[in-house]
Amino acid sequence: EELPLEMHKVRMVQRLDLVPVERRLKAIEEAGNNTFLLYNKDIYLDMLTDSGVNAMSDKQTAAMLTVDDSYAGSATFTRLQDKIAEIFGKEYFLPVHQGRACENLLSLAFVKKDTYIPMNYHFTTTKAHIMINGGKVLELFLPDALDSVSSKPFKGNIDLNQLQKLIDEEGADKISFIRIEAGTNLIGGQPVALDNFIETGKIARKYKIPFIVDASLWADNLHFIKTRDEKYKNLSTREITRILSDSADIVYFSARKLGHVRGGGIITNDEAAYKKLLEMLPLYEGFSTYGGMSTREMEAMVVGLDETMDEEMINQGPIFIKYMVDELVKLGVPVITPPGGLGAHLDAMAFLDHVPQKEYRAGSLAAALYIASGVRGMERGTISEEREEDGSDHFAAVELLRLALPRRVFTLSQVKYTIDRIAWLYENRKLIGGLEFYEEPKVLRFFFGKLKPT
């Protein structure tokens, strides 16, 4: 077998507990069978997300001590702005407190009521922001994007034919903007080909429709372009990033993922767009030289973005995910293939085919895996969808249990333990039943909703 190698050494550790299964049963019940509502003290391996919990490097931590703290005009901000311009080749940068803050500002500024926002795939908070502002999300993925067993290298691509057809039939003025999410979170961290960004950019320019890229998961996507696309494997990470950025009018990202800190930002060369966003920035985020981020995080982000251009750093997520996915495939466990970014994604649709989809297969699997292992994953299925206007459930196209691998956090033996527990659970899957809500928030119910066994 091919072992993924850690290209770092561990110099600071945090103690973990693996509480007994009786406590885990009690804990998940107290949490309403929602892994978001568990507490760390009851969790062995936290694979909920990579958001804000990737390991920071020694250089990032050191940079946090050399900040220039000030409300307005700090040198830390200038360093960050310069680093962004160097890497992305765009002049204007608006810092915000995290990724969804970008989505809030961009939706307020650019979503026109009753227009379409075509995209490769939605993300939860993106869709909610667009809908609140009266826009309609259209997912234009390719027919095989949702196949759980696949060897297609770039399942995240937007379907350019469908995009052209939409423009021909509805007219460019019915489209507020086109969005591509690098690394498609909700369909298993599947990457987008560089040519797909380039071609989308050309269509957008031809019809004068703004093209916005969500680059939160760009680090993994960049690794996949370098390793899966013959055409671009000889370009440097910086050259590829520049091509991506040049294809788009606006690039935004959650720095909780890209840059390994806690923050986010919007980048553009479009002065009018910048000014429009800038007007709203102090109202929702903060002054233009911090935007809700601490200067410490901004200083660490300068280093984090540089490190994101280091192939030996950004391969650490994908090679461990690949190991996990390949081993699960060998054991016959249904898992999304090819391995993507962010984490391993169990295919709960197949894993729990004896549970009706209305009883939330992915949510049930998340609760069961926690009980069986102390590992916390995240439901990415029907619970993560909003209900239809008539109150009925909108069934997700894919029911996934995501096991995120925050970069450089878990060791190979911890990954092996997780694989072993998943394999056990798969053999004993008939023990797992469905769930129903007993407390259900109206918006983004997956965060705070509570469920009980049916």
Q: Reduced to 3 states, what is the DSSP secondary structure of residue 267?
A: strand
* Sole residue written with tokens 């590829």: 240
- Centre a 10 Å sphere on the Cβ of residue 3 and count the other Cβ atoms it contains: 8
Task: Point out the catalytic residue in the list 88, 92, 121, 123.
Answer: 123
Indicate which single residue of 51, 245, 295, 315 sits in contact with ligand F0G (rule: CB under 6 A). Answer: 51
Answer positive or negative: Cα dihedral of 433, 437, 443, 445. negative
Structure-token pair, residue 450 = 């509570």
Is 17 labeled as catalytic in the residue annotation? Answer: no
Is 275 labeled as catalytic in the residue annotation? Answer: no
The minimum distance between CB 403 and ligand F0G, in angstroms, equals 12
Nearer to ligand F0G, 254 or 288 (CB): 254
Instruction: Pick left, alpha or beta for residue 286 (phi over 0 → left; psi -120 to 50 → alpha; otherwise beta).
Output: left
Angstrom distance (rounded) from CA 189 to CA 339: 8
Binding mask 258-297 for ligand F0G (x = CB under 6 A): ------x---------------------------------
The minimum distance between CB 371 and ligand F0G, in angstroms, equals 22
Structure-token pair, residue 212 = 């916005």
Is 289 labeled as catalytic in the residue annotation? Answer: no
Q: Among 281, 277, 279, which residue's Cα sits nearest to residue 251?
A: 277
Is 438 labeled as catalytic in the residue annotation? Answer: no
Angstrom distance (rounded) from CA 402 to CA 339: 12
| Residues found in the chain | 454
Is 257 labeled as catalytic in the residue annotation? Answer: yes
φ, ψ for residue 147 (rounded to 5)?
Answer: -65, 125
Nearer to ligand F0G, 256 or 445 (CB): 256
For ligand F0G (CB under 6 A), the number of binding residues is: 15
Nearer to ligand F0G, 51 or 148 (CB): 51
Cβ(100)–Cβ(125) below 8 Å: yes
Nearer to ligand F0G, 185 or 245 (CB): 185
The minimum distance between CB 93 and ligand F0G, in angstroms, equals 16
Nearer to ligand F0G, 46 or 355 (CB): 46
Positions 206 through 235 that interact with ligand F0G (CB under 6 A): 214, 216-217
The minimum distance between CB 401 and ligand F0G, in angstroms, equals 13
Angstrom distance (rounded) from CA 259 to CA 252: 12
Is 214 labeled as catalytic in the residue annotation? Answer: yes
Nearer to ligand F0G, 79 or 100 (CB): 100
Which residue type sits at 143? P
DSSP letter at 172 equals G
Angstrom distance (rounded) from CA 337 to CA 325: 7
Is 71 labeled as catalytic in the residue annotation? Answer: yes
The minimum distance between CB 381 and ligand F0G, in angstroms, equals 14
Positions 403 through 422 that interact with ligand F0G (CB under 6 A): none
Active site residues: 71, 123-124, 214, 257, 380, 446
The residues that touch ligand F0G, with contacts defined as CB under 6 A, are 49, 51, 98-100, 123, 125, 181, 185, 214, 216-217, 254, 256, 264
